[in-house]
Structure 1
Amino acid sequence: MRRRTGIPCALRRVRWRSQASKKAKVAAMAKLFESIGKLGLALAIGGGVVNSALYNVDAGHRAVIFDRFRGVQDIVVGEGTHFLIPWVQKPVIFDCRSRPRNVPVITGSKDLQNVNITLRILFRPVTSQLPRIFTSIGEDYDERVLPSITTEVLKAVVARFDAGELITQRELVSRQVSEDLTERATTFGLILDDVSLTHLTFGKEFTEAVEMKQVAQQEAERARFVVEKAEQQKQATIISAEGDSQAALLIANSLMDAGDGLVELRKLEAAEDIAFQLARSRNVTYLPSGQGTLFQLQP
């Protein structure tokens, strides 16, 4: 009986030890996974912190740093990847490349004609003045500054010229607008690389008046041509009459000097010319006078 009871006890101890080892392995695996999870969480948190502490500035851009405690810093950050203090600092990115903008303006000329002008501007900010631009104007500085100063300068320049001068002296108008607008934009920290007038039209009444003036000028040119042509014809007639008068006078003088001999000479020349013309014709036979000529006619 004792031997029978000893065997099951040994089996139970083996089973217990096996179960204990399994539990230990499970506990060890659980601790390992827990450690891995904590490490992954720590890495994720650390990566998030590092990522929030980095920012990129692309090519052609600049950054201005806003600090929650010190405000806008005077440092302009260039291109590349940079560090900042998360939550405390915030980067504000500005595009410093030249960008185009069309500004339409309706104004009046010196002679009170309505003028529609469209100005094309190629602009960019001064990088060293970006903190001041961000503090005093804001990120949308182009929307706030360019339309107002363009309208102001265009109205001032166009008012110096009348409508006709705006057309004939367009290059001068464009140059004055460019000079005045460039100087005005400098006060706001902007650089204008190019300023050009792309569109210039007038009101309907002025356009119709210009067309009527052009038609009248064409009619005047046509009438002047007709007058000049008639004058030329008149001069030609006078010259021809003077020539005929001189010829008649010369003939009369010749008759007075030579008598009837000149008339007889002219008759002979005329008869000779007639005889020459008749001799060239095949159907005409010239019969000299004073000679007898027989014709044999067949019945």
Structure 2
Amino acid sequence: MAGGGQAAVSFLTRMATVAAGIGVAASAASASLYTVDGGERAVIFDRLRGVLPKTEAEGTHFLVPILQKPFIFDIRTRPHSFSSTSGTKDLQMVSLTLRVLSRPDVDRLPDIFNSLGLEYDEKVLPSIGNEVLKAVVAQFNADQLLTERPHVSALVRESLTQRAREFNIVLDDVAITHLAYGPEFAQAVEKKQVAQQEAERSRFLVARADQERRAAIVRAEGESEAARLISEATTIAGNGLIELRRIEAAKEIAGVLARSPNVSYIPAGDNGQMLLGLNAAR
């Protein structure tokens, strides 16, 4: 019985040793494996050689436990927004908000990790974005930022893309999403618009006066020509034209009197003459 007990203890001891060995092996296998998900890349830090120059793509990979450690980078395009207050060429303050879509240069991930670390974009983009915005805005007057906004956006995009390349960052899109001026500039714009409206009104009044002057000249010339023609006709026809004008005037006066309600016609006698009399005021 004693021998059987010792055999059982020995068997259990061996089983425990095997289980421990299996556990250690499983732990070692787990520590030597790592997974890179879709849209990510891994940079390996080796305690003996430093950051390895090769990046690892998606999938499961092996490493040397304790000596090596993986650092995962998200290489998908990510949005970033930041604001800046800058001075224009005519010394007006303007607030701008810039939105960029950025991603790391996959081939230069080891360099990015060495110089900037995993949070490379948060360390670089706000600083170079403010720098570029201030440099570009200073080239334009305040009103040009509105009238030439596509040109301003193109300059910002070009300059910021070049600066980001120096840090191995790729920019897929750069856009100015907000632009606002200070209250002083808004008041200046309002005063300018009022002055322009007053100037337009003054130009209209001058143009109207000029047209009226020209019309008066034309009327005067017409009346002068009519007087000349009448004078010539009088000289040629003698008193005939004057008599004709007198008859026309008499007809016109007779027509006016005929339509007036205050005029009545009274027989004056047998000779057929008519006397004109005005009714007494009512």
What's the TM-score, normalizing by structure 2?
0.76
More helix by share: 1
In the alignment, which residue of structure 2 is the partner of 1:295?
A: none
Q: Aligned AA for 2:228?
A: L
In the alignment, which residue of structure 2 is the partner of 1:157?
A: 136
What are structure 1's unaligned runs of at least 5 residues? 1-19, 278-289, 292-299
Q: Aligned AA for 1:52?
A: A
SS of the aligned residue for 1:94 comes to: strand
In the alignment, which residue of structure 1 is the partner of 2:147?
A: 168
Q: Aligned AA for 1:82?
A: H
SS of the aligned residue for 1:163 comes to: coil
Q: Which has the larger radius of gyration?
A: 1
Cα-to-partner distance string for 1:40-87 (whole Å, 9 max, x where unaligned): 776665554434333222222211112233221111111222222333
Identify the range of structure 1 (248-257 vs 184-193) with the bigger mean alpha-carbon deviation.
248-257
What are structure 2's unaligned runs of at least 5 residues? 257-270, 273-282
1:76 aligns with 2:55: yes
Q: Aligned AA for 2:207?
A: E
TM-superposed deviation, 1:272: 8.4
In the alignment, which residue of structure 1 is the partner of 2:124?
A: 145
Q: Judging changes above 3 Å, is the alpha-carbon distance between structure 1 residues 240 and 91 closer, same or farther for their aligned structure 2 residues?
A: same
In the alignment, which residue of structure 2 is the partner of 1:287?
A: none
1:134 aligns with 2:102: no
In the alignment, which residue of structure 2 is the partner of 1:241?
A: 220
1:200 aligns with 2:179: yes
1:182 aligns with 2:194: no
RMSD across aligned C-alpha pairs, in angstroms? 3.6
Cα-to-partner distance string for 1:188-243 (whole Å, 9 max, x where unaligned): 10111222222222222222112211111111112221221222222222222222
For 2:251 and 2:180, how far apart are their aligned partners in 1?
78
Cα-to-partner distance string for 1:78-127 (whole Å, 9 max, x where unaligned): 12222223333222111112222112111222232222122221211110
Superposition pairs of residues 82-161 of structure 1, within 5 angstroms: 82-161=61-140
For 1:251 and 1:55, how far apart are their aligned partners in 2?
117
Tell me the matched-pair count: 259
Q: Aligned AA for 2:42?
A: A
Cα-to-partner distance string for 1:3-40 (whole Å, 9 max, x where unaligned): xxxxxxxxxxxxxxxxx9xxx9xx99xx79x96x8877
What's the TM-score, normalizing by structure 1?
0.72
In the alignment, which residue of structure 2 is the partner of 1:280?
A: none
Superposition pairs of residues 196-275 of structure 1, within 5 angstroms: 196-265=175-244
Identify the range of structure 1 (69-78 vs 247-256) with the bigger mean alpha-carbon deviation.
247-256
Superposition pairs of residues 55-74 of structure 1, within 5 angstroms: 55-74=34-53
Q: Aligned AA for 1:110?
A: K
TM-superposed deviation, 1:274: 9.8
Q: Judging changes above 3 Å, is the alpha-carbon distance between structure 1 residues 274 and 75 closer, same or farther for their aligned structure 2 residues?
A: same
Cα-to-partner distance string for 1:253-291 (whole Å, 9 max, x where unaligned): 2222222333455567778899999xxxxxxxxxxxx99
SS of the aligned residue for 1:142 comes to: helix
TM-superposed deviation, 1:141: 0.6
Q: Judging changes above 3 Å, is the alpha-carbon distance between structure 1 residues 245 and 91 closer, same or farther for their aligned structure 2 residues?
A: same
For 1:233 and 1:58, how far apart are their aligned partners in 2?
84
For 1:166 and 1:253, how far apart are their aligned partners in 2?
71
More strand by share: 2
Identity between Structure 1 and Structure 2 (%): 53
For 1:167 and 1:183, how far apart are their aligned partners in 2?
24
